Structure 1
């Protein structure tokens, strides 16, 4: 195994700020979710880039209400000390109805610096 190959970890082995973010998203708690991010964080979701706390907060609020869906954490990986992936299975009233999404986190100073959400 190479150092840069992600290794599978148990979801509860994800860093605290990632677990805090994911739990807050499940509860549609944008105020708590935003605390997991650095002030200059970037989120890329659905091809759109959201930079900085204010833009990420707007994205959190909008994405919480845009569709109704269930989300299940199905796996987790760690590439190194600052790169983690959480895989989720979503089912709901969005186009396509079901999707597996990879939440790719980059950490800095104990917070999320970058989050890319993609299939």
Structure 2
């Protein structure tokens, strides 16, 4: 996927809740990451769908502790004001050890994350 390389300038152009979520998730700060989502948010990750605040919170808790990993933001693509795709490289102790993942965000009119789909890059 092509996009803007993730320099500090590109990070500054991300919507605040996307930027806050990415930073909090990388630091395994579940409460801060969870606060970025709207009450009816839907997350699709690893073939599973998590609907609503409680399910998203459980997903965040699991994904922040299941493996040890680091993230490196690679690109950010704005599709419009409410839709963004951010590609990150994860490296850690999970099967395969390294993967590039596309995170596609949908935001509501208040900038809260209402949808997040995470898929491996082709």
User: What TM-score, normalized by structure 2, do the two folds share?
Assistant: 0.88
Q: 1:56 and 1:37 mapped to 2: Cα distance?
A: 8
In the other structure, the counterpart of 1:118 is 119
Does 1:66 find its partner at 2:66?
yes
3-state DSSP of counterpart to 2:75: strand
The answer as to whether partners of 1:76 and 1:85 remain within 8 angstroms in 2 is: yes
Which contiguous aligned blocks of 4+ residues in structure 1 show a shift greater than 2 angstroms?
6-9
Deviations 1:43-69 (A, max 9, x none): 000010000000000010111111111
Following superposition, the deviation at residue 81 of structure 1 comes to 1.2
Q: 1:12 and 1:72 mapped to 2: Cα distance?
A: 16
RMSD, aligned CA: 1.4
Following superposition, the deviation at residue 26 of structure 1 comes to 1.2
Following superposition, the deviation at residue 7 of structure 1 comes to 5.9
The equivalences for 1:99-114 within 5 A come to 99-109=99-109, 110-114=111-115
Structure 1 residues without counterparts, runs of 5 or longer: 1-5
User: What TM-score, normalized by structure 1, do the two folds share?
Assistant: 0.91
The answer as to whether partners of 1:106 and 1:112 remain within 8 angstroms in 2 is: yes
In the other structure, the counterpart of 2:37 is 37
The answer as to whether partners of 2:73 and 2:87 remain within 8 angstroms in 1 is: yes
Q: 2:77 and 2:40 mapped to 1: Cα distance?
A: 24
